[in-house]
Structure 1
Amino acid sequence: MSQDTVAPTRRVPSLVLVSGPEQVLADRAVAATLDDLRVTAPDLETIRLYAATYEPGALGVQAAPSLFGGDKAIVVHDADEAAEDLQQDLLRAVAAPEPGITLIVRHKGGNRGKKVVDALKAGKARVLEAPAIKSDRDKSDFAAHEFVAARRKATGGAVRALVEAVGKDIGELAAACQQLVADTTGVIDERTVLLYHGGKVEATGFKVADAAVTGDTGEALRLLRHAIAVGVDPVPIVAVLAQQLRQLVRVGAAGRGRSVDVARDLGLAPWQVDKARRSLSGWSPEGLARSIQAVAAADFEVKGGGRDPVYAVEQAVLAITANHTR
């Protein structure tokens, strides 16, 4: 047989497990796997099955050889929510893979469907991880990687501003990175981020908290009132105030180690450690304790314990700035 007639080798194994809760990473892993399959199978047929709407036997029907031949990818979503019928069908499919079929199983984590996960791993499935992105450090690393992957330089200040503006949702953070890459040229700096997302940055609880923990009463109240005016709920603002104060306590207790080491131990980004250290110069242990108590009281008020949530968060901000020694 000549080289021209040799069938191309499959780049993707017949079994693929996408494991982890982060939707953005999981969607990308599935899309990349399908793209790899299309290198050797341009006419690849893709079938998607979902645990919530699965009918018993559907996987076996879809995996049966087609009359017209051709490769097929079957993507099974939410195997961690699978009923017993789907789990049994998956176990049978994993035990006896059909030629020309690639089975891609999406599992967000947990014990449900663990037999399927174990069977996939025992069957030498390719495992693609989609770990949770929760901490600010993880979000900063994610955004920085997005810019590196796009071959664009972004400053640390730009990454920080972007995480503060849109970091609550990883999908929105990814879209914001893509927008900046597509709509700008040159180095992406903090000014660039503020141009596109300045309203969100200014209205977040993070900016309110930043001003409060540095003792800037006027700026903290201005930002708070602006945030309330544009529709930011008092509850997350109080949550961020509490988070920032706890961060000061944790960084202060960690001592004088290198920022990168302290950040790793505390699950923070190095820039968060540096910022906390700069803020700590105006704080005493007693002042931090009183401020944390004031924010705890505000948390009770804004969650239904009081009549005026806006007044409660204003009082918390005033308590914080009053305890700061500028």
Structure 2
Amino acid sequence: MTEDLALARRVPPYVLIAGPEGVLAERGLAETLDQLRVTSPDLEVIRLYAGAYESGQLVLHTSPSLFGGAKCVVVHDVDEAPDELQADLLAVLAAPPEPDLTLVVLHKGGQRGKKVLDALRGTGARVVDAPAVKTDRDKADFATHEFRRARRKATAEAVHALVEAVGRDVRELAAACAQLVEDTTGVIDEKVVLTYHGGKVEATGFRVADATMAGDPAEALRLLRHAIAVGVDPVPIVAVLAQQVRQLIKVGTAGRGRSGDIAREVGMAPWQVDRARRTLGGWTADDLAVAVQVLAAADAEVKGGGRDPVYAVERAVLAITARHSRNRTD
């Protein structure tokens, strides 16, 4: 028996895809349907949506068909389900499962539809998680997993650069990973990523923050002006600067230990801990305290408290780089 055939026969009558990340939810649904089609190439797929649901539809579509054949009923957005849909789902789940029928329920999160989720889990439904991918650490983990799924190795620096370039949107990040896998061979390193996405990387606030925290005012200003020229808003640039300062403070006060242990303790990725440790050599606690104050003032100015947001960021960059040890004469 092939692996796919074994997987198809193990798909239970009920499947729950839970979580807000659309890319992961869509992938979980597609993989479930692919597994069912291994043994049922003519699988009938019926999709129902909470926002357009009419009472009785689910019961109708989950009833035995006169013509037979495998059927999969997919119910989208159960977290938005009206009472009628929830009642129909509970009724279907309370009855014995129909042969050749698979019911797939998608729920993005929240309390609405909780009774349906509890009932599904009570039946032993397969649960496919689609957790939110929000933080830089989440996105780095996501990209790393994408490369592993494709049986490709990518360095931590490459993943970091890719998240900087396209990390705002998880769907775009997934597409970028797929492109690199398709178009390249061997280990995917930072040089490969920069070949494909160098312009985007340079235009991000991350590069501005890296140069600032390295104490390089000329490079930081060059990158800042490039980012502004291509349309990057000053607000997220200040936010990234503040994030990096906070990371330095977290790692600096965490003490010694393995990067992985410190990362779990402070809520960062191991590569972020390593980067912060390398950067900390140019900073004292007093310097970082000044940087926090400078960025708090810049944040207020770029959000409407000042006349010129771009000038506010430039002034903050110069004030912070001036505190770096290599730029100090005292």
Q: What TM-score results when the alignment is normalised by the length of structure 2? A: 0.93
For 2:284, the equivalent position in structure 1 comes to 284
For 1:122, the equivalent position in structure 2 comes to 122
Give the 5 Å matches for 1:161-310.
161-310=161-310
* Larger CA deviation: 175-184 vs 151-160: 151-160
Structure 1 CA distance, aligned partners of 2:271 and 2:152?
20
CA RMSD of aligned residues (A): 1.5
* Larger CA deviation: 129-138 vs 256-265: 129-138
The CA deviation string for residues 206-243 of structure 1, in whole angstroms up to 9 with x for no partner, is 00000001111000000000000011111111110110
Check conservation: 2:12, 2:102, Cα contact below 8 A. Answer: yes
* Larger CA deviation: 43-52 vs 195-204: 43-52
Are 2:33 and 1:31 aligned? no
| Amino acid of the structure 2 residue aligned with 1:168 | R
Structure 2 CA distance, aligned partners of 1:296 and 1:208?
17
| Amino acid of the structure 2 residue aligned with 1:179 | Q
For 2:146, the equivalent position in structure 1 comes to 146
The structure-2 alpha-carbon separation of the partners of 1:71 and 1:187, relative to structure 1 and needing over 3 Å to count, comes to: same
Q: Shift of the alpha carbon at 1:9?
A: 8.2
For 2:17, the equivalent position in structure 1 comes to 18
For 1:90, the equivalent position in structure 2 comes to 89
Structure 1 CA distance, aligned partners of 2:293 and 2:156?
33
What stretches of structure 2 of length at least 5 have no aligned partner? Answer: 1-6
For 2:4, the equivalent position in structure 1 comes to none
Structure 2 CA distance, aligned partners of 1:293 and 1:81?
43
| Amino acid of the structure 1 residue aligned with 2:164 | E
What stretches of structure 1 of length at least 5 have no aligned partner? Answer: 1-7
Structure 2 CA distance, aligned partners of 1:63 and 1:277?
58
Check conservation: 2:8, 2:38, Cα contact below 8 A. Answer: no
Q: Shift of the alpha carbon at 1:307?
A: 2.2
Are 2:80 and 1:56 aligned? no
For 1:73, the equivalent position in structure 2 comes to 72
| Amino acid of the structure 2 residue aligned with 1:87 | Q
Structure 2 CA distance, aligned partners of 1:253 and 1:33?
46
Matched length: 319
Check conservation: 2:8, 2:36, Cα contact below 8 A. Answer: no
Structure 1 CA distance, aligned partners of 2:213 and 2:82?
50
Q: Shift of the alpha carbon at 1:105?
A: 0.5
For 1:4, the equivalent position in structure 2 comes to none
Report the 3-state secondary structure (helix = DSSP H, G, I; strand = E; otherwise coil) of the residue aligned with 1:323. Answer: coil
Check conservation: 1:79, 1:106, Cα contact below 8 A. Answer: yes
Check conservation: 1:11, 1:37, Cα contact below 8 A. Answer: no
For 1:5, the equivalent position in structure 2 comes to none
The CA deviation string for residues 296-316 of structure 1, in whole angstroms up to 9 with x for no partner, is 111111112222111111111
Structure 1 CA distance, aligned partners of 2:145 and 2:135?
15
The CA deviation string for residues 123-175 of structure 1, in whole angstroms up to 9 with x for no partner, is 11111111222332332222122112212222222112111111222111111
Check conservation: 1:19, 1:127, Cα contact below 8 A. Answer: yes
Check conservation: 1:135, 1:267, Cα contact below 8 A. Answer: no
| Amino acid of the structure 2 residue aligned with 1:159 | V
Check conservation: 2:161, 2:194, Cα contact below 8 A. Answer: yes
| Amino acid of the structure 2 residue aligned with 1:48 | R
Structure 2 CA distance, aligned partners of 1:57 and 1:303?
51
| Amino acid of the structure 2 residue aligned with 1:173 | L
Structure 2 CA distance, aligned partners of 1:244 and 1:222?
19
The CA deviation string for residues 86-120 of structure 1, in whole angstroms up to 9 with x for no partner, is 11111111112333221100111211111000000
Structure 2 CA distance, aligned partners of 1:319 and 1:54?
58
Check conservation: 2:294, 2:316, Cα contact below 8 A. Answer: yes
Structure 2 CA distance, aligned partners of 1:41 and 1:132?
32
